[in-house]
Structure 1
Amino acid sequence: MKLPIKYSLLLLSCGMFAQSYKTVSVVDNYNNWGWNNVLVAKNKFITVAVVPDAAGRMLQFDLGKTASLWVNPKLLGRKFAADDKVKMQDWRNFGGYRLVPIPVDNFAVNSNGEKTKRWPPPVIMGDSPYDAFVSTDAVAHQLINVSSGIQNLPVPVFDRTTNTFSTVLNYDEQLQYKRSMYIEKGKSLVFITHSLLNKGTTTIERGLKITSQHPTRSEPQLEDGQNFLAYIPISNKDVLPNGKSFEIMLTPQARWNFVNKNRKPLDKNNAEDVAKYFNSGTNWKGEVAPGVYELHYDYDLMGGVHFIAAKSWIGFVDKLKKTAFVTMFEPYNKKLNYEYGANAEIYNSGLETGYLETEIKTAIHTLKPGQRFDYNEIQAAAKIASTPILDVNKTGIITQKLHLTKDGIAHGAYGVFIQGKAIVIAKNNQGEIIKKRTLGNVSPLKAFTFDAYLKEEKAVATIAIYIKAAGDLYLLDSVDVTSN
């Protein structure tokens, strides 16, 4: 892919300060998808593919041969013009990793001139081709950069009564979205920065909803949604405007209507139909461990649940392949405004072949003309030995918290994001190291379970597990033994 001169210069200047570790290549007809100039970042653990012609979406994030993203087979190789006159049935959902400007309630205008919601969402940011280029930063990361065209708001709405689109007399907003991402050697981490720019002449209030669409079938024709799980941390201290820690955005009647319209005719006089479908879904498992909410996929359901994330992560698990994909994002800020009061959602989509969405939402920012806001997230992947996900940090996933048994056995179970050596360090009450042991090699491609006999160490006050890589220590988990 030939780069504009300014980007070629950027590559040259950055290369003068650091030796780049090549992670990105540009591939035509990657995976036989039909698109050219696909930007592929790869190391020995993960593969990330970004498709500029598919609205700059990330359509692949794999750990080894396990995929985290659903791709719509009906739209492979397709490109769509930057025209916002689209009907509901014209939604071009490529799958993968997408975004929507929020609030969604006011980015369209109806035939009465009133601000309203519209689905499909705005096309220039969501459907049409993005510009893309590769650059290298000052510390030698190869970055995949994408940017949308200018999204004018409000967008028109199709009126079925008149069979016409509403007329947009004035554009109140002009937005542009940009994203940069990179990976590193020896890690299953993807570092992402999102930017939303106000390109217009008036002050606006906007944010972003960023969504990963996950697969829900182990085989194309097999319905085994119970093996595809989502997790999010919750707390009674963090509540939505209704005073609850989470809210299922679906009524029994809505589920009934969806099944009756899209799956099969239902009969309210049939007790079996009522028992099975007149509910808000049986896949919302609720709190499966202290402070952790779980759900699995249901093929006969269209609806979601939203939260204030008690900790800044959300996760998806392919239980059959014992693989977890998580997103770490910016903490919830009580001083800022969030759409519906939530900064995270999980959505069960019954569209197409079905997919499960994990969604994060930025705060709604006030942007003056020319201003922007940036939002950072990290996506990561690891093999795990069990579920549920109990906690996540930048080193790995905790599925069994580090603890010391009555027999003096220290135990924990994890998935790790960093290749290296696991080390356990025990300290006394003065913070002095009294025991340090290397436990062996670890990598994202193998679940890590820790056991160590520490009964003879009567002075132990704290135990911590680290991953040592390239001379650095990364904390995975720790426990205060004196509080046990």
Structure 2
Amino acid sequence: MKRWLLPWMVHAGLVLSAGEAVELTQVDDHLGWGWQAQVMRNDLITFAVMPAIGGRAMQYDLGDHPFLWVNPAEIGRTYEPSADAPWPNFGGYKSWVAPQGQWLRGGGGWPPPPTLDYGEYTATREDGEQGQVTLVTTGPVETFERWQAKGLSLTRRFTLRPRSTQVRVEQRIINQSPHPQVVANWDVTQVPGVHAKANDPDNFWVYFPVNPRSMFGPRGFFVFASDGRNGADSQWKNWASDGIAGVQYLRRGGKIGADVTAGWVAYVDERDGYTFVKRFEVSAVPAPGTWPDGGSTVQVYTNGAEPYIEIEVLSPLVDLQPQQQTSFIVDWYATRIDGPILKAGTAGVCKQRLSLARSGARGRVTGMFGVFHLGTVELLGLPSADAKAGTKPVSLGSYYVSPREAVTLDVEVALSPTVGTLVLLLRDADGKDLGELDRALVPAVEPEKR
């Protein structure tokens, strides 16, 4: 259900109902899956990690809507790491060591190092400021000679705070071997490609911003050489006018890589109207020598046999010396809105950009957004460039919002002559600025025709 922001409410003096504190509990046989889980919850999100299967996150739900794919064939199973066993694909999220093409000694990129991938991890808890809780999972050291990663171990830190869908995922590679290794952290998350009891893969999309200086040309991505088969190319999309590219899942096997610099990628369930966003920092210009796989910061893999998509984010390559470690942070967010996703920030996503249709001293402001946190959106009018020094922003109204509902803005406002830009901000219950959803220039008043 979409929310019309009418009427506006006075911002000052209103108190936002507080979110529930973050809970972290150990649950045996979580959801009847047979695994012991570390389960984090607030009043928006449920997030569950299974230490016995490589410390994978197997649940990230907004309310009762799941964003992670779970392989029904592997539910409840555990495996002793082995150099010769088939790879068990549990689903969910894990982090791998990139580049994949150098996994095996002597060459080869499959399977992943087994101890890192599905060995048993330990779990500990840390409590932080303002009610946030961190779950730390620590993995065993890889011991098999067959893999270049021998001597490496992985640690992941998952942090959840009240009143927010944000889960901060810090992935860390530790080199406990006696020799240096060139590595990158690789966030690999499997998400559903069909709804339960439905064969509707075309309802699932992925969106990401095109690098305007992409080394891969105007589309902003490349197709992996071995994966452009079985009609997979029809899945890859580009909307040049919006600066956005993406994938419409059609249950065909394929993979693309992109040199995204704006630092986000979004997965959308278009039928039910839910969006899952990953945000990350791009600290250097993507290039073949600085990022894995020819300069990829984002990759999207589509599986043709099983109904899932992989949303993958990669860190820069690091020459990791013995006893050193390298970390990479990816922030997860969720909200209730369908696509296309044109913009994603720390406050939320934009489906329809903030826009103003002016008529004299009044204007109609429109836009469509999904927010990541409980709070209040406020529309501010910022002073124009020719306004007098000391002119303050003008509040044009505010309204309570939640990640559980899309935000549709359609409101008339009075425009002061000093206002040059409109900005839509999200604030928390204490009035703290959580980020900007979008902004728009105020057009000049057209002179009257004589």
Q: Mapping of 1:3-402 within 5 angstroms?
A: 21-36=21-36, 38-86=37-85, 90-109=86-105, 115-137=106-128, 140-152=131-143, 155=146, 173-220=150-197, 222-240=198-216, 245-250=220-225, 255-256=229-230, 279-287=231-239, 289-299=241-251, 301-334=252-285, 337-339=290-292, 340-351=294-305, 353-384=306-337, 386-402=338-354
Q: How far has the Cα of 1:434 moved from its partner? A: 5.3
Once the two structures are overlaid, the 10-residue window that deviates more, 58-67 or 279-288, is: 279-288
Q: CA deviation at 1:288?
A: 6.4
Return the offset for 1:181: 1.0
Secondary structure, aligned partner of 1:320: coil
In the alignment, which residue of structure 2 is the partner of 1:7?
Answer: none
Aligned residue number for residue 472 of structure 1 = 432
Residue correspondences, number: 414
Q: How far is 1:425 from its partner?
A: 1.2
- Cα separation, 2, equivalents of 1:450 and 1:155: 57
Offset of 1:468 from its aligned partner?
A: 2.2
List gaps (5 residues or longer) in structure 2. 1-19, 446-450
Moved more, 462-471 or 365-374: 462-471
Partner Cα distance (2:226, 2:101) in 1: 20
Q: TM-score, normalised by structure 1?
A: 0.80
Matched to 1:107, the amino acid is: W
How far apart, in 2, do the equivalents of 1:205 and 1:435 lie? Answer: 52
Matching residue's letter, 1:409: R
How far off its partner does 1:199 sit? 0.5
Q: CA deviation at 1:309?
A: 0.7
Q: 1:481 to 1:456 in 2, by over 3 A?
A: closer
The answer to whether the Cα contact below 8 Å between 1:176 and 1:198 also exists between their aligned partners in 2 is yes
Mapped partners of 2:352, 2:283: distance in 1: 25
Structure 1 Cα separation of the partners of residues 218 and 201 of structure 2:
31
d(CA) in 2 for partners of 1:427, 1:236: 28
**How far does residue 426 in structure 1 lie from its aligned partner after superposition?**
0.9
1:66·1:321 contact (CA, 8 Å) conserved in 2?
no
Question: What are structure 1's unaligned runs of at least 5 residues?
Answer: 1-19, 110-114, 157-170, 257-278
State the distance in 1 between where 2:34 and 2:421 align. Answer: 55
Change (3 A) 1:34 1:172: closer
CA contact (8 A) 1:425 1:464 kept: yes
Matching residue of 1:162? none
Structure 1 partner of 2:364: 409
- Matched residue of 1:463: which SS? strand
2:115 partner SS: helix
Q: Is contact 1:55-1:130 (8 Å) kept?
A: yes
1-side partners of 2:45 and 2:258: how far apart? 29
Question: Matched residues in 2 for 1:180 and 1:461: separation?
Answer: 43
3-state DSSP class of the match of 2:116? helix
Q: Output the amino acid matched with 1:23.
A: E
- Whole-angstrom distance in 1 between the partners of 2:174 and 2:189: 22
- Structure 2 counterpart SS, 1:281: helix
Deviation at 1:216, TM superposition (A): 1.2
Measured in 1, the distance between the counterparts of 2:183 and 2:49 equals: 25
Which AA in structure 1 matches 2:255?
G
Which residue number corresponds to residue 16 of structure 1? none
Q: 1:460-484 deviations in whole A, cap 9, x for unaligned?
A: 1111112221221222222232599
Which one-letter code corresponds to 2:178 in the other structure?
Answer: T
Identical aligned pairs, as a percentage?
Answer: 24
Alignment match, 2:11 = none
> Per the alignment, in what secondary structure is the counterpart of residue 73 of structure 2?
helix
Displacement after TM superposition at 1:139 (Å): 5.4
CA distance in 2, matches of 1:237, 1:458: 38
Classify 1:22/1:326 alpha carbon distance in 2 versus 1 (closer, same or farther; 3 Å).
Answer: closer
Match of 2:410 among 439, 442, 451: 451
